[in-house]
Amino acid sequence: MALVQHNNLPSIDRVAAEGIDICLPDEINPELTSINIGFLNMMPDTAIAATERQFLRLLGSGDQTSCKVYPFTIAGIERSAQAHEYIQKYYSNFEELKTKKLDAMVITGANVMQPVLTNESFWGGLEEVLVWSKDNVRSTVCSCLATHAAVKVFYNIDRRHLGKKCWGVFEHKVENSSHPLTMDVPDTVNMCHSRFNDISFDDFDSQQIDNLIVSEKAGVQLAAEKDLSMIYFQGHPEYDDISLLKEYKREIYLYLSGEREDYPPVPENYFDQTSLAFVEAYKKLVKNQPPVIDLIEQFPEAELQAGVKNPWKQAAYTLFKHWTDSLIR
């Protein structure tokens, strides 16, 4: 598969440098089927470009298609002036995208600000995209919060707060190894989660939605409508190996700045034993004195980065390859 560089999105050049196959519109291989994918990026400013790259890598994993990705966003998400300028320069407008023949949609997660999802400032725009996509594209992939929003919109099922964050890397079982999405995925696979809320196995099952990858501890990772019109990830298959590390550092920064009261827990099953020694040493340093922002400069990021791995990467690539291939069947 090739990603088609039909705009000047900087992330395309970044993933090309990593070895992802990129072509210009006049270089599309006629033996491949062309597909157009809308990409609703709701992530905050600090993660907007990284999220682009993460999903572009996955969308470039198929071998039967050439893919044009159309990033866009919605109103109600707090943005800096710099981010607004970036979006204006590189992103499409949803109203314009409605006139294009999109084959599929990908919808990211977002920062949660409200205990009730429908009270989020971006809810109206997200609901509009979900409803339009259900009626106008072949299949929509939802990630994390987008899954909770979709289940609310289409089935009026509310997410449930877990009491504490489901955060880390967890063992999962493939429930149906012959399913079009999960074939070739190992029966047991470690995948990551980062969320406070949950849609349960029984919630999906009650609507005849197939539970495909499930963890005894972390719950449902992947579920799908029987016709593949909606694909529901509760975790983050797109995450890089350092994504959870970046989140952990951000939470420590919030503690040091006084924006959270408690020192953040460590993502489960993520750091190796050597890294955990650095984690504990830094925690001891911080806890032995009043929290001040300057202590973030001593966070052992480089040492921790050397010890993290991405055991979900191959499974994520396989899942997205099967998904993009399904769009042409």
Q: Is 238 part of the annotated catalytic residue set? A: yes
Q: Return the ∠ at Cα 118 (arms to 172 and 162), rounded to 5°.
A: 35
Are the C-beta atoms of residues 173 and 190 closer than 8 Å to each other? no
Closest CA to 62 of 18, 4, 11, 115: 4
Q: How far separated are the first and last CA of the chain, in Å rounded?
A: 15
Q: Is 259 part of the annotated catalytic residue set? A: no
Instruction: Centre a 10 Å sphere on the Cβ of residue 127 and count the other Cβ atoms it contains.
Output: 16
Active-site option among 52, 120, 225, 238 = 238
Q: Is 236 part of the annotated catalytic residue set? A: yes
Active-site option among 142, 144, 166, 192 = 144
Q: Token pair 């099967």 is at which residue?
A: 322
Tokens of 309: 């791995």
In one-letter notation, the amino acid at residue 44 is P
Are the C-beta atoms of residues 5 and 71 closer than 8 Å to each other? no
Closest CA to 235 of 166, 309, 140, 326: 166
Are the C-beta atoms of residues 304 and 277 closer than 8 Å to each other? no
Active-site option among 148, 179, 193, 236 = 236
Catalytic positions are 144, 236, 238
